[in-house]
Amino acid sequence: MSTVLISGASIAGPALAFWLRRHGFDVTVVERSHTLRGGGYPIDIRGTALGVVERMGLLPRLREAHVDTQRITFLSADGSQVASVRPETLAHGDQHDLEVRRGDLAEILYDTVRDDVEFLFDNTIVAMDGHPGGVDVTFRSGLQRTYDHVIGADGLHSGVRALTFGPEEQFHRYLGYCFAGFTLPNHLGLKQEALLWNEPGRAAALYAVGEAETVHGFLSFTRAEAPFGAFQDPHAQRELVASVFAGDGWEVPGLVTAMRAADDLFFDTVSQIRMPRWSSGRVALAGDAAHAPSFLTGQGSSLALVGAYVLAGQLATAPDHAAAFAAYERQTRPFVEANQNLVDEGDAELFPATAESLAARNAALRERETMPAGTGRPEHSAMTLPEFAR
């Protein structure tokens, strides 16, 4: 039985583990965190990815977890309403799209494989040595093993990618924004809705999932260069965000205070990963590690689910790993790039950088208030899932 090590237990990793087990592989998943990471902002499953979760038998559970956000209300600098629209109108979504919390999707995927897959939590890969017979892996814990294949599904700042292809900066396409996400008390009593406040180059949001006692807070801002030095320094992250939003109105001071105290702060850049190839030898990348589209496209999880399905199927049916990895990339890259290219529209709608672009965005939003839901962007469904023997 062929052995596969997957690094990362968020979305792409467990989804890939599911399909690899279905095809008869012996799978291990290593995750840096000490347990499955819950929480996180809502994510979307759309288009071609809906076919993947349907084939996994997960549609009923995901429909139960659907958060069904009713409205997104846009606010001016003084907190007055600019427009209030249905999310699918803003995101060019489809009525069949699913919106679930990232942590709920991760938990559902984990539950499907936890009894059939070995999970190594609180551990990570520190060294790999590929050879014709496999990949020798050394873990942070000191454990050493050999696997037939290693897959990096460990996100935007992938360690597997760094070990295999070199520093992230060569593949990192910074889109000009930084953001901080965290939770805070729902003192406004928001229900199934989001509020988005804008000043040129700055945005603050409150996102209420259901009728929870907490909401997701979000602070985003433009910055000429990516603050790579702050990635590993939570104090520097907090100070940077606080300095950008100093003196702003509406609920922003409370958001900054909550951000400073949050124990679940997540800070990052709004970025993409663009690589000329996704594999080297017996090592391949999946999900954001290979092709992060950025949350501005709303397609990160959908691309991860589709890629996991195709990668597992090709490893199961191709004559060898080289042919499998080549076919995986050949089948999915056009779909990935079409969705990555949606990013410019997302940034103009959510985070206008100038007063002129903000005024234009606001005028467009007012026209959308009465628009019906659309049928989704063609890019979301631009790939037909291949069939693999199971």
232: pLDDT strictly greater than 90: no
The stretch 264-273 carries a mean pLDDT of 93
The stretch 355-361 carries a mean pLDDT of 92
In the beta sheet, which residues pair with residue 283? Answer: 150, 280
Q: What kind and span of H or E run contains 326?
A: helix 321-340
> Could you read off the pLDDT of 95-126 as tens digits, one per residue?
678 999 899 999 999 999 999 999 999 999 99
Q: What are the backbone angles phi and psi of residue 217, rounded to the nearest 5°?
A: -100, 150
**3-state SS assignment for residue 283:** strand
Q: 298 is in which domain, residue-wise?
A: 3-61+99-171+272-346
Domain count along the chain: 1
Determine the pLDDT at residue 93. 59
Does pTM surpass 0.85?
A: yes
Distance CA 279, CA 286 (A): 9
Determine the pLDDT at residue 359. 93
Residue 224 located in a structural domain: no
> Could you read off the pLDDT of 144-175 as tens digits, one per residue?
999 999 999 999 999 999 999 999 999 999 99
347: pLDDT strictly greater than 70: no
Determine the pLDDT at residue 312. 99
Cβ atoms of residues 19 and 309 within 8 Å = yes
The stretch 183-203 carries a mean pLDDT of 95
Q: C-alpha distances in angstroms, 296 versus 70, 104, 200, 270, 329?
A: 19, 21, 17, 8, 23
The stretch 222-228 carries a mean pLDDT of 88
Determine the pLDDT at residue 368. 78
Determine the pLDDT at residue 206. 96
Residue 233 located in a structural domain: no
> Could you read off the pLDDT of 71-103 as tens digits, one per residue?
999 999 999 999 999 887 766 556 678 999 899
**3-state SS assignment for residue 323:** helix
**Domain of 36: which CATH number?**
3.50.50.60
Distance CA 233, CA 252 (A): 23
Determine the pLDDT at residue 254. 97
Residue 374's pLDDT band (cuts 50, 70, 90): low
> Could you read off the pLDDT of 1-44 as tens digits, one per residue?
899 999 999 999 999 999 999 999 999 999 999 998 877 778 99
Length of the chain: 390
Chain mean pLDDT for the chain? 93
Residue 94 located in a structural domain: no
Distance CA 52, CA 171 (A): 28
The stretch 127-154 carries a mean pLDDT of 98
Residue at token pair 């950025």: 294
Cβ atoms of residues 83 and 366 within 8 Å = yes
Per cent of the chain over pLDDT 90 is 80
114 secondary structure, DSSP code: T
**Going by C-beta distance under 8 Å and a sequence separation of 6 or more, which residues neighbour residue 132?**
none
385 secondary structure, DSSP code: P
The stretch 336-354 carries a mean pLDDT of 82
Residue 305 located in a structural domain: yes
Residue 144 located in a structural domain: yes
At 15, list the tokens.
Answer: 């989804």
* Sheet architecture: strand order including 3-7: 118-121, 26-31, 3-7, 149-152, 283-285, 279-280
In the beta sheet, which residues pair with residue 26? Answer: 3
Determine the pLDDT at residue 372. 61
Residue 385's pLDDT band (cuts 50, 70, 90): very high
Chain Cα centroid distance, residue 76: 28
Cβ atoms of residues 105 and 53 within 8 Å = no
Residue 370 located in a structural domain: no
Q: C-alpha distances in angstroms, 312 versus 41, 54, 114, 322, 324?
A: 28, 16, 18, 13, 9
Residue 25 located in a structural domain: yes
> Could you read off the pLDDT of 302-332 as tens digits, one per residue?
999 999 999 999 999 999 999 999 999 999 9
| Among 172, 167, 120, residue whose Cα is nearest residue 145 | 120
Residue 336 located in a structural domain: yes
Determine the pLDDT at residue 167. 94
Segments in 86-194 forming alpha helices (H): 87-90, 102-113, 159-165
